[in-house]
Amino acid sequence: MKKIAIFASGTGTNFEAIAQAIDQKQLDAQIVLVVVDKKNAPVIEKAQSKDIQTFVFCAKDYPSKEAYERDIVKACHQQDVEWIVLAGYMRILSDVLLTAYTNRIINIHPSLLPAFKGKDAIGQAIDYGVKVMGVSIHYVDASLDGGKIIAQRAFEVEKHWTHQEIEAQIHAIEHVLYPETLKQLWEEQK
Ligand code: GRF
């Protein structure tokens, strides 16, 4: 069983999807820590309601990225975290986390990478008028939404879909693809 930390900044629907896959025994893992960089993020309450330890921090309280990441690594080590799963965590990682968890940090991004990196990937894709959109899961390195791609799933955009409908489609794919990909990744390593 893998002990994992989920890092998030917002709503936490991917956190919920992974937690549900674990509860339903589809994924042999335990979420031992949720790391959040926003004091009012709804994901905090979701983690607490499942009695999962949270580490909530404010980047402004620290002199540098390295300083808060050192505290995050400490919290991860205290919980024996083996893998870090980023799910809507809106920060680029420094070497502190990347060297502590080399090749054991994964992210999900709402586009077919390497297209539309960074913020509002869905909005960027809509503005571009793309006809095929999708979701990518990738290893994390020091670049923005870089790192080797592990899995992708695409879908065709119907002409009449609104931004909201596209977002709902992206989320529906993410909630299936993330647990599936983690399962496969960890099974391959056995
Ligand atoms: C997801 O769309 C994910 O791809 C992106 O941030 C969003 C997080 O959503 N990185 P949620 O907080 O899991 O609902």
**Residue of 52, 43, 45 whose CA lies nearest to 23:** 52
Q: What is the pLDDT of residue 188?
A: 87
Distance 190 CA to ligand 1 centre (A): 28
Instruction: Give the ligand 1 atom nearest the CA of 110.
Output: 4
User: Which residue owns the Cα nearest ligand 1 atom 6?
Assistant: 88
89 SS3 class: coil
Catalytic residue among 77, 109, 160, 175: 109
CA of 14 to the centre of ligand 1 (A): 6
109 catalytic? Reply is yes
> Both tokens of residue 82?
């083996």
Q: How many CA atoms lie within 13 A of 163 on its CB side?
A: 9
Q: Which atom of ligand 1 is nearest to the CA of 90?
A: 10
Distance in Å, CA 123 to ligand 1 centroid: 14
Tell me what pLDDT residue 155 has.
Answer: 98
pLDDT at residue 117, as a whole number: 96
Per-residue pLDDT of the chain (190 residues; tens, 9 = 90+): 999 999 999 999 999 999 999 999 999 999 999 999 999 999 999 999 999 999 999 999 999 999 999 999 999 999 999 999 999 999 999 999 999 999 999 999 999 999 999 999 999 999 999 999 999 999 999 888 899 999 999 999 999 999 999 999 999 999 999 999 999 999 887 6
Residue 25 contacts residue 178 (beta carbons within 8 Å)? no
